[in-house]
């Protein structure tokens, strides 16, 4: 779309959360990019569990929705306007958006762990607006050009893929690792893809849902394991060991459910690593002594940093295929229906299409 055409279409339909349970589609002004920013015409934006959680609960932990906020942070789009100081992008470039942009050059930024900067801007985390809209401005340094063989939807899926890259990196997944992944939702599934790409030889993945495990099997899981709510954590750990013939080196916990976190610790080999990706209760009871006495390291994960270039390289080289994760697509106008579909747990990843003139992947 040429700039003149974009000027004529002066509408910026946006998905705005006003307060708990109050999700609205409304027109907002098209923003003007600053010197180091670009204006994007959004193309594909995935719905994340956190978007739904903010909608349903009005908060996640200490992040509370106090004023209307645009949702969405898994996004890709096309540059339609470039700030005066921007060198790396030009009009027409297709880009993936990294939603976390540090506001200051603090110790975390300097050490390369900018995701931990307390003042970071982050799309759709109160009070910062997200990008589930037609037009959105963002720091040019955090927009990454997509190669021609990577689709917009794949570009949007770099966000969840980044969580997996960061988690697998923190876990130390390498050639020959055996890995247990707890939970086969979108994040568990991308962790499976990334663990395999990083050299994991055997992956067990657990879930309550048989459907999710069918998808996991199709994506390369060696041992899908159906769990029941009443299963004991130690018994679960034994089943995992039985499947692998030994305890896994690494467990990536993607549910946040207390019993699953307990099972993750029991299941992991002495000297191994448990990475906590899923978010559960603020206070969770775990067998800490068991972990301590067996030197099982428990590591946290907060989003990601320095992952977009890696993810783009993995997608462009076809080392990872995220396309099957997208099970539903809705035009932006049907955002409320799309959110309802996500809330009901239908499908895996639901994609909103923000460009009226191009609804392709």
| Distant-in-sequence, close-in-space partners of 215: CB < 8 Å, separation ≥ 6 | 184, 189, 324, 348
Cis upstream peptide for 127 (omega within 30°): yes
DSSP state of 128: B
DSSP state of 357: T
Instruction: Give the Cα separation of 311 and 171 in Å (integer).
Output: 17
Q: What is the pLDDT of residue 10?
A: 72
Q: What is the pLDDT of residue 9?
A: 60
Instruction: Give the Cα separation of 32 and 35 in Å (integer).
Output: 10
Strand partners, 182: 206, 253
> Are 187 and 278 contacting, i.e. CB atoms less than 8 angstroms apart?
yes
| Distant-in-sequence, close-in-space partners of 183: CB < 8 Å, separation ≥ 6 | 205, 206, 207, 253, 254, 255, 260, 278
Q: How far is CA 348 from the centre of its chain?
A: 12
Task: Give pLDDT tens digits along the chain (361 positions).
Answer: 455 455 546 799 999 999 999 999 999 999 999 999 999 999 999 999 999 999 999 999 999 999 999 999 999 999 999 999 999 999 999 999 999 999 999 999 999 999 999 999 999 999 999 999 999 999 999 999 999 999 999 999 999 999 999 999 999 999 999 999 999 999 999 999 999 999 999 999 999 999 999 999 999 999 999 999 999 999 999 999 999 999 999 999 999 999 999 999 999 999 999 999 999 999 999 999 999 999 999 999 999 999 999 999 999 999 999 999 999 999 999 999 999 999 999 999 999 999 999 999 9
Q: What is the pLDDT of residue 5?
A: 53
Q: How many CB atoms neighbour CB 22 within 10 A?
A: 12
| Distant-in-sequence, close-in-space partners of 131: CB < 8 Å, separation ≥ 6 | 40, 42, 45, 70, 72, 73, 75, 77, 97, 99, 123, 124, 138
Q: What would the two tokens of residue 120 be?
A: 């970071």
Q: What is the pLDDT of residue 8?
A: 47
Strand partners, 298: 274
């Amino acid at each position: 779309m040429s700039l003149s055409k974009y000027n004529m279409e002066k509408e910026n339909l946006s998905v705005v959360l006003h307060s708990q349970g109050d999700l609205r589609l409304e027109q907002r002004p098209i923003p003007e990019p600053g010197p180091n920013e670009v204006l994007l015409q959004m193309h594909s934006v995935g719905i994340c569990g956190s978007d739904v959680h903010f909608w349903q609960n009005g908060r996640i932990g200490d992040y509370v929705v106090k004023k209307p906020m645009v949702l969405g942070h898994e996004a890709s789009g096309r540059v339609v306007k470039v700030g005066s100081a921007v060198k790396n992008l030009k009009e027409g470039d297709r880009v993936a958006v990294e939603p976390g942009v540090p506001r200051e050059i603090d110790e975390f930024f300097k050490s390369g762990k900018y995701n931990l900067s307390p003042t970071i801007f982050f799309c759709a985390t109160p009070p910062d607006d997200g990008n589930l809209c037609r037009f959105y401005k963002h720091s040019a340094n955090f927009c990454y050009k997509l190669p021609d063989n990577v689709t917009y939807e794949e570009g949007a899926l770099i966000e969840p893929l980044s969580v997996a890259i960061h988690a697998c990196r923190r876990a130390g997944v390498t050639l020959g690792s055996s890995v247990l992944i707890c939970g086969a939702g979108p994040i568990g599934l991308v962790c499976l893809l990334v663990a395999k790409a990083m050299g994991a030889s055997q992956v067990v993945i657990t879930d309550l849902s048989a459907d999710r495990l069918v998808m996991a099997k199709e994506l390369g899981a060696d041992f899908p394991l159906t769990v029941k709510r009443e299963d004991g954590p130690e018994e679960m750990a034994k089943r995992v060991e039985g499947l692998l013939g030994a305890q896994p080196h690494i467990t990536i916990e993607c549910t946040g459910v207390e019993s699953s976190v307990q099972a993750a610790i029991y299941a992991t080999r002495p000297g191994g690593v448990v990475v906590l990706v899923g978010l559960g209760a603020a206070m969770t009871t775990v067998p800490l002594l068991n972990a301590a006495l067996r030197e099982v390291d428990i590591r946290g994960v907060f989003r990601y940093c320095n992952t977009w270039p890696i993810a783009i390289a993995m997608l462009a080289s076809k080392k990872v295929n995220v396309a099957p994760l997208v099970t539903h697509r809705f035009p932006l106008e049907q955002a409320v229906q799309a959110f309802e579909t996500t809330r009901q747990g239908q499908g895996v990843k639901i994609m909103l299409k923000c460009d009226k003139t191009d609804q392709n992947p």
